[in-house]
Amino acid sequence: LDDVRYGVAEQVSPLIRRVIARNPSKFSYRGTGTYIVGSGRHVVVIDPGPDLVTHRDALAAALSGHEVVAILVTHCHADHSPLSAWLRAETGAPTIAFGPHGLIDPDPEPDEDPDADAPDESEPTLIDGEPVQESKETIDIDFVPDLAVADGEIAASFDGLTMRAIHTPGHTSNHDCFSLDAEHALFSGDHVMGWSTTVVSPPDGDMRAYMESLHKVAGRHDAVIWPTHGNPITDVDPFLDAYLEHRVLREAQITDLVRGGATSISDMVEVLYVDVRRDLHKAARRSVLSHLVKLVDDGVVSIDGDRARLSSQFSPG
């Protein structure tokens, strides 16, 4: 995706076209890739994307002459689901997803670090393989699917093609991937991305669920994964092995730091991300927190309060 052609419906496989929205950022890479599946009159749209006029117009042009039979949404972050409302109104096609967004922190903890992220429109930056972003992605709280699909259920069936929902909680609790049986392909949303590892941010993001979902997807042995952000993944098995290895290694490093006397997330970030600019440590702290929530639940780490927070004090379990 080094040479992105925004607003163009690019044919990326016999059954799949992709239109990339002009919303590049440190956590969306070059932009949101909306997929159009189908080679005939009937098509399915996956992740209509952000509410941008340019992207809406590009989708309208790409869908001209086609009948949209279903609108599949992997999850309801604001770079994935908002345009589904417009597309539903234009086409009458139902929106289909696992469900609306899950837990929203009723008592969010402010990050008062003076070196927290400042606005920056530079090239996407990685922290430990993870995209830099605000502590919480913007949520499309208005999104509620017309049809809720459970794990393994058929999400769309048309022109001899079958697409199924694969429930993959972790990045968000309502995250779904969608399979296209005819091409042994998986549309992975943000569960697996083609340019970085995925951000898992509590409370709705759950590291244990995320790792379990990674194992589920790895066990499928798909031929290709189409992420919403980044390039397609064709070396699927080794790619997912590396994804899992990264998480296991980070968990071990955090465990060792706590056992060695580190008590705060800030202390851990100072060690784990010593070579990373301090203005990127805010995103790093969210990554470490997600691992610590899991470690506390496992009894490996103890905390000084009722739940793991950015300000908690940690000790060996």
**Span 217-268, pLDDT tens digits:** 999 999 999 999 889 999 999 999 999 999 999 999 999 999 999 999 999 9
Residue 107: count other Cβ atoms within 10 Å of its Cβ: 7
pLDDT of 196 above 90: no
Q: How far apart are the C-alpha atoms of 18 and 10, rounded to whole Å? A: 5
How do 224-227 and 185-189 pair as beta strands? parallel
Q: Which residue has the tokens 């992740």?
A: 47
What does pLDDT average to over the chain?
87
Q: Which residue has the higher pLDDT, 238 or 106?
A: 238
pLDDT of 122 above 50: no
- The confidence score (pLDDT) of residue 106 equals 58
- The confidence score (pLDDT) of residue 284 equals 79
Counting residues of the chain whose pLDDT is more than 90, the rounded percentage is 65
Q: Which of 50-64, 185-199, 286-300 has the lowest mean pLDDT?
A: 185-199
**Span 75-96, pLDDT tens digits:** 998 888 999 999 999 999 999 9
pLDDT of 311 above 60: yes
- The confidence score (pLDDT) of residue 68 equals 98
Q: Which residue has the tokens 């080794």?
A: 238
Q: How far apart are the C-alpha atoms of 69 and 58, rounded to whole Å? A: 18
Q: 212: left (phi > 0), else alpha (psi -120 to 50), else beta?
A: alpha
- The confidence score (pLDDT) of residue 26 equals 61
The two tokens of residue 137 are 């992605």
Please tell me which of 34-48, 93-107, 200-214 the model is most confident about, judged by mean pLDDT: 34-48
**Span 12-59, pLDDT tens digits:** 999 999 999 987 766 667 788 999 999 999 999 999 999 899 999 999
CA atoms within 13 A on the CB side of 120: 15
Between the alpha carbon of residue 180 and those of residues 70, 184, 223, 230, the distances in Å are 14, 6, 11, 19
Q: Which residue has the higher pLDDT, 142 or 232?
A: 232
pLDDT of 120 above 60: no
User: Phi, psi (5° rounding) for residue 27?
Assistant: -120, -5
pLDDT of 135 above 50: no
pTM, whole model, 2 decimals? Answer: 0.87
The two tokens of residue 82 are 């908002």
Q: What is the mean pLDDT of residues 282-309?
A: 91
- The confidence score (pLDDT) of residue 230 equals 87
pLDDT of 172 above 70: yes
Q: Which residue has the tokens 């809720």?
A: 148
Q: Which residue has the higher pLDDT, 311 or 125?
A: 311
